[in-house]
Amino acid sequence: MVLRRGANLDDAKGLNRRVAFEAIYRNGPISRNAVATRMQVTPQTVSNIVADFEAYGVIEERPIHTGKKGKPAREYTVQPNSILNIGLHIDQHNVTGVVTNVDGQDFGRQRAKLANQEPDYVEGVAAGIVEKLAGGDPSFGSRLLGVGVAMPGIFRDGVFLSGNALTMTNWKGHPLAQTLSRRLGLPVFVENDATTAAIGEGLFGEARNVASYVYFYFGLGLGGGLMINGTQYVGAHNRSAEIGHMIVDPGGRPCPCGNKGCLERYASLFSAYQAITGSDTEFEAVPPKAISEAFRSGDTRLKAWSKVAAKHLYTGINILQNVIDPEVIYLGGQLPKELLEELGRSVLEQHQASQKDPEISARLQLRVVDGDVALGAAALPLSTLLNPPVNGHTGLDYVRPTEGSSLYNLLAG
């Protein structure tokens, strides 16, 4: 059973700030009374909280033009450019950085190639990108909520626990959130790349108004994200949505996890690459471009791969559909979009051919999205604010330093 933790006076203040900010962010422009009703507090409490936000320039108050005489009612809205976020996507080849406003509007990108995957070196490259993205704007620091970092692997308390990418072996036990936060003097939020793509879609993308969804992220392997009633479902061991390791072909292809017939052995960048090159080197650096070229040239080996991948993908989606009953299933990541669309069409055909009840058949909503992990990473600081901790845990691993985080402290209390 999950217990909402009790709040002492300081915590309650923080919680109220988060909830007020969320009410205005998600529903603004919204009147003071409407915020108070949503929060179940007095309008005066709302005014007190909002006064602090206004002083910082985060919330704007303006009159509602009702056409009636007398003193006009006021409504609140978030100033979109008053809150900036930096997102960093670290993969085996590059670090990609993006700066966005509170609506996910992209204000600029930077990318640097990685010469190796040593943690200290990679962090140095990441810090260089943050510096470039912030460069030249004196107001940047005061408007920056935090830095989100997404990379392959599983994290707990900001520490890299494990990952399949063999070139990242030295990351095991590395406290990424802590060391990068110390280096930057900023709040740092760390999450798995696939889960980050799912969170980003929910905050800035197609899933903005979708409460429950499953996201399939086709990276080197196959990862995912599970959102239930607007909150990321983390799992007891931070290992929820490891959809690539659902067994869809019992006794099938061996997987490094120890099982046989895991979905990602059939449906992932790596398995597509294996199909077109015949390579069986485990998780070697796969250039996504190779798959795009094979797709464009109509490579028959990729076509054969796609058929098998779609069959197993349907098995996995059918399980999730029956267990979770999500509103939408998203397919995104590093496979070419047209190829994902082809897989999606095939899954829908299999679903429609096998489900007798048209009402149940219509429930499978499948959509293909871009899978922009850097943009998703920029959503991580905001996502933490909007999902107050349950049992002290938000699902995101983050470190909030004492310095350089005035905006985060203002909003989180």
Q: Report 42-61 residues binding Zn ion (CB under 5 A).
A: none
Part of the chain binding Zn ion (CB under 5 A), chosen from 34-42, 243-251, 286-294, 297-305:
243-251
Sheet with 397-399, side-by-side order of all strands: 106-113, 94-100, 84-90, 144-151, 188-192, 397-399
Provide, rounded to whole angstroms, the least separation between the CB of residue 284 and Zn ion.
Answer: 18
Contacts for 142 with CB less than 8 Å, ≥ 6 apart: 406, 407
Nearer to Zn ion by Cβ, of 174 and 265: the residue is: 265
Return d(Cα 194, Cα 219) in angstroms, integer.
8
- Closest CB 262 distance from Zn ion, rounded Å: 3
- Window contacting Zn ion (CB under 5 A); options: 44-52, 240-248, 285-293, 347-355: 240-248
Parallel, antiparallel, or unpaired for β 366-368 and 328-333? parallel
Interacting span for Zn ion (CB under 5 A) from 164-172, 238-246, 287-295, 374-382: 238-246
User: Residue 147 forms beta bridges with which residues?
Assistant: 86, 188
Rounded to the nearest whole angstrom, what is the least distance from the CB of residue 164 to Zn ion in the complex? 9
> What residues between 261 and 290 interact with Zn ion by CB under 5 A?
262
Q: Which residue, 263 or 329, is less far from Zn ion as judged by CB?
A: 263
Q: Segment contacting Zn ion (CB under 5 A): 16-24, 172-180, 242-250, 342-350?
A: 242-250
Cβ distance to Zn ion smaller for residue 259 or 361: 259
The size of the interface with Zn ion (CB under 5 A), counted in residues, is 5
Chain positions 247 to 266 lying near Zn ion, rule: CB under 5 A, are: 255, 257, 259, 262
Taking the least distance from each CB to Zn ion, the nearer of 72 and 254 is: 254
Q: Is 245 among the residues that bind Zn ion (CB under 5 A)? A: yes
DSSP state of 184: H
| Minimum CB distance to Zn ion, residue 282 (Å) | 12
State which residue, 263 or 331, has the beta carbon closest to Zn ion: 263
Least CB distance to Zn ion at residue 264 (A): 7
Task: Quote the CA–CA distance of 129 and 298 in Å, as a whole number.
Answer: 38
Query: Considering all CA atoms of the chain, what is the largest pairwise distance in Å, rounded to the nearest integer?
Result: 77
**Which residues on neighbouring strands pair with residue 139, listed in sequence order?**
none
Whole-angstrom distance, CA of residue 400 vs CA of residue 99: 19
Q: Is 45 exposed, middle or buried (0-12, 13-18, 19+ CB in 10 A)?
A: middle
**Least distance (Å) from Zn ion to the CB of residue 220?**
13
Amino acid at 339: L
- Map residues 100-129 to x or -, x wherever contact with Zn ion holds by CB under 5 A: ------------------------------
| Positions in 153-212 near Zn ion (CB under 5 A) | none
Nearest-approach distance from CB 340 to Zn ion, in angstroms: 21
Residue 377 C-beta-side C-alpha neighbours within 13 Å: 30
Minimum CB separation of residue 267 from Zn ion in Å reads 12
- 89: which strand partners? 96, 150
User: Which C-beta is closer to Zn ion: that of 252 or that of 404?
Assistant: 252
Q: What does the alpha-carbon distance between residue 265 and residue 409 come to, in Å, rounded to a whole number?
A: 44
Q: What is the DSSP string of 268-312?
A: SHHHHHHHHH----TT----HHHHHHHHHTT-HHHHHHHHHHHHH
Rounded to whole angstroms, the Cα distance separating 241 from 196 reads 12
Q: Which residues are near Zn ion by CB under 5 A?
A: 245, 255, 257, 259, 262
